[in-house]
A and B are shown apart, each in its own frame.
Chain A
Amino acid sequence: MDDDGAARGSGDEPIAVRLALSVEPGLQALQNALGGGAALDAAVARGAGRALDAGAAVEAGVDEGSGASGPFTSSDGLLVLPADPWDVPVLVERGVVDCGVVARHILAELGADVVQLADLGIAGSRLALVMPAAMTDLPSARRPRIATTHPAVTRRHFARRGRQVELLALRHAVTDAVLLGAADAAVVVLGPDQACTAQGFVVCEELLGGGARLIASRSARVVRPAAMQAALDAVRAAAAAGPAAGAAHREERHAAP
């Protein structure tokens, strides 16, 4: 195949590859390296493909302070849509966007039917079982109670090891649940080198680790392989150049009047 499958056989312009980029602190550098600057308004984003209310997608659960911006075109011509981390897998699976960048633990929790093309080796995180340092083991006389923001991954992890646990699925304050006595341990997301949480909880078990993943819809991989390969190369290069390019961008912005 020497041509972009999607563009072939029709007279219209090739459509930009749409990338949903998870808005999380660890991926800010990637966003900068992709050449964020040429902002697109929602109408242009819509025109680039399927009806997509980019504004609404950005709004959902994204903290203003995180530096989230609206959709923009990367220097490689990717249409980048900063999106809530938990939205990225679904947007990709349903084909609203062609590909996405998102943390592995989110992908594992949602179990989206997508293709995981690459580990970008940035924004590494691990999902870990943590307990207060003073405690040593999970109770053995009864089923341990575990507070988690990732019930599916947690359930699978213990089931595979033949261990029964009681889950307390929470949105946020899982370690507080332990401090309040509602759970014996908590499953939290830690940085790759982070050994304990702010409350002094220490890691007793790692459930999952790895860097941010580049994912593609099953459809995009087949329908436009050439364009997807180009997108894969561009995102990989940006991830490799990430921190440096990010710094340069920030300086440029400061210098601008």
Chain B
Amino acid sequence: MIPEGMRDLLPAEAEALRGLGDIMRRRCAAYGYGEVSTPVLEFAATFEKADDDALLAGYRVFDEQGQALMLRTDMTVPIARLAADRYRDRPLPMRLCYVEDSFRLQAASRGLDGEFTQAGAELIGMASAAADAECVMLLCDCLRATGLPRFRVAVGTVAFHGALVEALGLPDDQEDALMEALAERDYPLLESILNNAGADDDAVQALQRALQLGGGHEALAQARRLVGSAGRATVDRLEEVRELVEQAGFEDLVDIDFGLYPEFAYYTGLLVEAYAPGVGLPIAAGGRYDELLAGFDRPAPAVGFAISLDRLTLALEEAGAAPRPPDRPLTFAGGFAEPELCAELRAAGVPVMAVPDDERPLRAPSLRREQGDWVLEAADGGVTRGSLRDVRRALGLG
């Protein structure tokens, strides 16, 4: 028995997850991101800086002094803490990446594991559209490097909601209701709130269009009309980000999407989410969080993303692009009595699993002795019978 939402990873799963993590590390390194690791336990007060219920819904324990500790529920907050604290004197910008597990109290029955692995990157100390674009292109780069054949990356902005409320001139109480409807992605409710508030039909329709379609020129045009001159800078910036990402060789992957709603309260600008066919929830999410570091007394703009390696694995399976399982080791019947030969093979890069001499059947690839001959059975069923030299040659060891 293990606690709800926790998991064991068996060799094939562990290998697949590690393989994906390694791809992410290599891609992040290619952009100059340095990998960090932070403690699984943080002070609960650290996560309280993020002021978000979902991030506070974590497993808590207490230390000897009675201080509340929490299993991390996210990696962005610990990295913000690290950048402001341990790395206080390091000049900005800094680029950090990670492949780590986080833990949340959430319904495991809904495909939301209590323990999950994320690979992500954070660019701290830059506020420009170029920094937003680097975040989005690194995300595209990471996903493409996994061999995932079809995915889309949606970019939006928190600022759209503010511009929208302002443009519509809604009263305060209606503003909360509108935000709630946006958060719930309840578009019929949104429509009725706008109608009740006396918004004109054109505006309501334009909003419906902008939200319903995942992106594209039509949605963009509608959004531009909606927010008017006040919100134009918001839309322009998103277009700039998309253009930069496309110039980096990621054409036809990025859509501007005004239906994105921040998953966490710390997001202040850019929002980014990635989706793949057959997996209903986002395989990656992120955005700009310009206020979070101020909570740790080192105000700095920042932007980042996290890929859910668990959902990415599902997406790869859906697309028939799951990573190849690792080669099975050579099963050596009687290997315990041949420590020297075992050592030689292992040193030459052949994984060897020793089993007792009389163990049968042997799963290929295997090595055994029969009436003085060595018998090597390759993974594809091919059999080599003869001297140890023949075996060495068959294994490609000269």
Is B215 within 8 A of A222, CB to CB?
A: yes
User: 1/0 contact trace for B94-110 toward A, CB 8 Å?
Assistant: 00000000000000001
Is B212 within 8 A of A117, CB to CB?
A: yes
Is B277 within 8 A of A219, CB to CB?
A: yes
A119 interfacial contact with B, CB 8 Å: yes
| Cβ of A215 to closest chain B Cβ, rounded Å | 9
How distant is the Cα of A163 from the Cα of B208 in the complex, in angstroms? 35
User: 1/0 contact trace for B307-350 toward A, CB 8 Å?
Assistant: 00000000000100000000000000000000000000000000
- A117 neighbours in B (Cβ, 8 Å): 187, 212
Neighbour of B280 across the interface among A6, A210, A219, A224, CB < 8 A: A219
Which of B146-154, B239-247, B288-296, B388-396 forms part of the interface with chain A?
B146-154
How distant is the Cα of A92 from the Cα of B202 in the complex, in angstroms? 30
B267 interfacial contact with A, CB 8 Å: no
- A220 neighbours in B (Cβ, 8 Å): 280
Is A210 within 8 A of B188, CB to CB?
A: yes
Chain A: how many interface residues by the 8 Å CB criterion?
Answer: 36
- B150 neighbours in A (Cβ, 8 Å): 6, 9-10, 223
Is B187 within 8 A of A116, CB to CB?
A: yes
| Cβ of A236 to closest chain B Cβ, rounded Å | 12
User: 1/0 contact trace for B210-253 toward A, CB 8 Å?
Assistant: 00111111100000000000000000000000000000000010
How distant is the Cα of A6 from the Cα of B154 in the complex, in angstroms? 14
- B273 neighbours in A (Cβ, 8 Å): 218, 222
Is A219 within 8 A of B213, CB to CB?
A: no
How distant is the Cα of A47 from the Cα of B310 in the complex, in angstroms? 25
Q: Of residues 134 to 155 in B, which have CB atoms within 8 Å of A's CB atoms?
A: 149-152, 154
How distant is the Cα of A228 from the Cα of B152 in the complex, in angstroms? 15
A8 interfacial contact with B, CB 8 Å: yes
Is B216 within 8 A of A1, CB to CB?
A: yes
Is B188 within 8 A of A119, CB to CB?
A: yes
- B187 neighbours in A (Cβ, 8 Å): 115-118
Is A95 within 8 A of B280, CB to CB?
A: yes
B279 interfacial contact with A, CB 8 Å: yes
B74 interfacial contact with A, CB 8 Å: no
Is A116 within 8 A of B184, CB to CB?
A: yes
How distant is the Cα of A113 from the Cα of B214 in the complex, in angstroms? 16
Given contacts A223-B150, A232-B212, contact A218 B184 (CB under 8 A): no
- A126 neighbours in B (Cβ, 8 Å): none
Q: Which residue of A lies closest to B314 (CB)?
A: A95
Tell me which of B186, B214, B257 has the highest count of chain A C-beta atoms within 10 A of its own C-beta. Answer: B214
Neighbour of A219 across the interface among B111, B185, B186, B282, CB < 8 A: B282
Is B257 within 8 A of A219, CB to CB?
A: no
Given contacts A116-B186, A232-B212, contact A222 B318 (CB under 8 A): no
How distant is the Cα of A162 from the Cα of B309 in the complex, in angstroms? 41
How distant is the Cα of A222 from the Cα of B278 in the complex, in angstroms? 12
Is A95 within 8 A of B281, CB to CB?
A: yes
Please give me the 8 A-B residue pairs with the lowest Cβ-Cβ distance, nearest first. A95-B280, A1-B216, A225-B214, A217-B280, A119-B188, A222-B214, A219-B275, A115-B185
A residues sitting closer than 8 Å to B (CB atoms) are 1, 5-6, 8-10, 15, 49-50, 90, 92-96, 113-119, 210, 213, 217-225, 228-229, 232
B residues sitting closer than 8 Å to A (CB atoms) are 110-111, 149-152, 154, 184-189, 212-218, 252, 255, 257, 259, 273, 275-282, 318
Given A1-B214, A221-B259, 6 other A-B contacts at CB below 8 A? A94-B279, A113-B110, A219-B275, A219-B281, A222-B215, A223-B275
